[in-house]
Amino acid sequence: KQEVTQIPAALSVPEGENLVLNCSFTDSAIYNLQWFRQDPGKGLTSLLLIQSSQREQTSGRLNASLDKSSGRSTLYIAASQPGDSATYLCAVGVNNNDMRFGAGTRLTVKP
């Protein structure tokens, strides 16, 4: 069974810092991997989708990498801003229509 882990559960950084969020998974046979952002009391917003054949995806200040062999993905956030404060969730596609989510990393960016 695919297990997805995100460490740390919470992270606090000063504004302007570059940071990395980690995601690990137990089974390298994945369909794809997505990173989501969740604001308190809100739904999830997809940030980046990496297909199984890809190594990374970039969107603005965000860069996500995927290493299937080691069962890891990272989300790099450059020049963090207070507006980046949210919970970031990693989800691994286990087949065409099912995903396994990590519990998330709660990020706080202090002004």
Partner 1 sequence: NAGVTQTPKFQVLKTGQSMTLQCAQDMNHEYMSWYRQDPGMGLRLIHYSVGAGITDQGEVPNGYNVSRSTTEDFPLRLLSAAPSQTSVYFCASSPSRVSGANVLTFGAGSRLTVL
> Judged by CB under 8 A, which stretch of 13-21, 35-43, 62-70, 77-85 contacts partner 1?
35-43
- Residues sharing a CB contact under 8 Å with residue 48, sequence separation 6 or more, in sequence order: 34, 35, 57, 58, 59, 62, 64, 75
| Position among 99, 105, 107, 109 found at the interface with partner 1 (CB under 8 A) | 99
41 makes contact with partner 1 (CB under 8 A)? yes
54 makes contact with partner 1 (CB under 8 A)? no
What is the total count of residues that contact partner 1 (CB under 8 A)?
A: 25
**How far is the C-alpha of 81 from the C-alpha of 89, rounded, in Å?**
18
| Position among 24, 73, 93, 105 found at the interface with partner 1 (CB under 8 A) | 93
CB burial of residue 11 (10 Å; 0-12, 13-18, 19+):
middle
22 makes contact with partner 1 (CB under 8 A)? no
CA torsion 69-97-60-18 (nearest 10°) is -50
* Residue ranges in contact with partner 1 by CB under 8 A: 4, 31-32, 34, 36, 41-46, 49, 51, 89, 91, 93, 96-104
